[in-house]
Amino acid sequence: MRVLIVGPLSGELGKAASIVLARGALVDHAESVDQAISRICGQGDHKLIICGIESAIARLVEGLRRERISTPVLACGPEDPELAALAIANGAEDYIPLPPDPDLIAAFIQNATDETQTVLSCDPVMRGVLAKADRIAASDASVLITGESGTGKEVMARHIHQNSRRSRGPFVALNCAALPETLVESELFGHEKGAFSGATARRIGRFEAANGGTLLLDEISEMDVRLQAKLLRAIQEREIDRLGGNAPVSVDVRLIATSNRDLPAEVAAGRFREDLYFRLNVVSIALPPLRSRPLDIAFLARHFARYYSEMNGLPDRPVTAEAMTRLENAIWRGNVRELENTMHRAVLMAPGTVIDADAFEFPEMPVPAASGKSVSSPETMSPWVGHRMDEVEQALILDTLSHTDGNRTHAASLLGISIRALRNKLRDYAQQGAAIPPPSQGMTAPQ
């Protein structure tokens, strides 16, 4: 693990650096915020930044945001509640009083490096998939993980990395659907200073950051076809070209790609390169949807109930038989992610000593035609009859976004559209004055 210390090392901050070193982490140092941003862009593998309160924390956080770097920042300074509040208001993740407490710093280091996620399952279908993943983990073969959204593709990718010979190396992920097409190339391959407008410093890309480890290309099917050709060359030649660079850079990376689309169909439609598909699909792992692993519903529901009870400081309460029956009979279109979110809400909403059926929110199911009611009868007629299609679409999108607590990725999955298409729709609705649910990254427990 690599930690960046920002500020003068002559005083208490130097003691913090010594504690970090004693805990087995690598330490880089930058005197100023500008040096810090340059070092982070050039190195690419810092897990934590410890910044003295005398440095411009707000400018550091803004610089990281501008460079799309999510490394957490810990502020350090005197034991002063007002200074701590100001640092956090300026974007620091937390505040460490000086002189530094070794145990406190150790806890932050552990938190920054704890990326272990276990694939939990008791269903024979999923256990068979997990056994296959364990068999191929030790190799360097590229892996293509497919499955519906919410089935745990990134969790499986991390599991493969953690059980590989590269487990001591970095695990770096890039969500190809979460970035505009114009930024994906720079994120993958990096850029030199002045390569394009706004490139104020050299920045290494995800390939270089993952050197010696594993690079996850999440939702690879969303990558533009023109960029797929450059990715194919990087895989074949084991070298990349930074934007604006003059010489290729060698990389040693294992690739794992994921997709919730039918990639052979995308190849047939001309939206995905066939040669890239074969390069990525050396080993394929298809994750089953939750409906195909029914024994895992109760198993995971109990796990998430315990996890979120502990996270929220609540007692671990049993799920009643009636509630469990409802969970097992529900239609989990969002798979494990939807079950997780459902259990999180239930833990918070359950008022008593148990988690019963009243703590869950399930969408109303349509009345089957066999019930004897006419689909077009007034009792079952949709309330949207008589409205324009664009009104129905907007209502559906916003209701789905509310259902996912603002999680854009989950909402796009439930709607069957790309995250990019969803963002465009939300931008249009906002311009029309619609109230848009605020974004949320969701909370994913180890699965």
pLDDT score of 280 more than 80 = yes
In single-letter form, the type of residue at position 400 comes to T
pLDDT score of 140 more than 70 = yes
**Mean pLDDT across the stretch 381-386?**
54
Nearest residue to 300 (alpha-carbon basis) of 329, 338, 340, 262: 340
Of the pLDDT bands very low, low, confident and very high (cuts 50, 70, 90), residue 115 is low
Residue-averaged pLDDT of the chain: 83
User: Could you tell me the residue ranges of all domains in the chain?
Assistant: 2-113, 124-286, 291-359, 384-431
What share of the chain in percent tops pLDDT 90?
A: 32
CA angle, 204 then 205 then 207, to 5° = 120
What integer pLDDT is reported at residue 116 of this predicted model?
A: 52
At 143-170, the pLDDT tens digits run 999 999 889 999 999 999 999 999 888 8
CATH fold label, 124-286: Rossmann fold (3.40.50)
What integer pLDDT is reported at residue 105 of this predicted model?
A: 78
* Rg of the chain, C-alpha, whole Å: 24
What share of the chain in percent tops pLDDT 70?
A: 89
Q: Comparing 2-113 with 124-286, is the CATH topology the same?
A: yes
Question: Could you tell me if 310 and 446 are in contact, meaning their C-beta atoms sit under 8 angstroms apart?
Answer: no
What integer pLDDT is reported at residue 375 of this predicted model?
A: 40
Which carries the bigger pLDDT value, residue 14 or residue 259?
259
Q: How far apart are CA 422 and CA 411, in angstroms?
A: 8
**2-113: in CATH 3.90.650.10:** no
Give, as one character, the DSSP assignment of residue 99. Answer: S
In single-letter form, the type of residue at position 281 comes to N
pLDDT score of 434 more than 90 = no
At 170-213, the pLDDT tens digits run 888 888 887 777 788 888 988 887 777 766 677 888 899 899 99
Q: How far apart are CA 88 and CA 74, in angstroms?
A: 9
30 three-state secondary structure:
strand
Which carries the bigger pLDDT value, residue 239 or residue 428?
239
What integer pLDDT is reported at residue 384 of this predicted model?
A: 57
* CA–CA distances in Å: residue 345 to residues 277, 340, 352, 442: 39, 9, 14, 12
**Mean pLDDT across the stretch 61-77?**
83
Least confident stretch, 51-65, 190-204, 281-295: 190-204
Spell out the CATH class of 384-431. Answer: mainly alpha
Least confident stretch, 202-211, 327-336, 345-354, 404-413: 404-413
At 208-233, the pLDDT tens digits run 989 999 999 999 998 888 899 999 99
Which carries the bigger pLDDT value, residue 408 or residue 314?
314
**Mean pLDDT across the stretch 103-126?**
76
pLDDT score of 12 more than 90 = no
**Most confident of the following: 48-52, 296-300, 361-365:** 296-300
At 403-418, the pLDDT tens digits run 777 777 778 877 878 7
CATH fold label, 291-359: Helicase, Ruva Protein; domain 3 (1.10.8)
In single-letter form, the type of residue at position 384 comes to W
What integer pLDDT is reported at residue 387 of this predicted model?
A: 65
Least confident stretch, 21-30, 70-79, 274-283: 21-30
User: Buried b vs exposed e over 355-383: b needs ≥16 C-beta within 10 Å?
Assistant: bbbebbeeeeeeeeeeeeeeeeeeeeeee
CA angle, 383 then 386 then 390, to 5° = 90
Structure tokens at 26: 């690598």
Please report where in the chains the tokens 């990525």 appear, as a residue. 280
Q: 133 Cβ partners below 8 Å, 6+ apart?
A: 119, 156, 159, 160, 163, 285
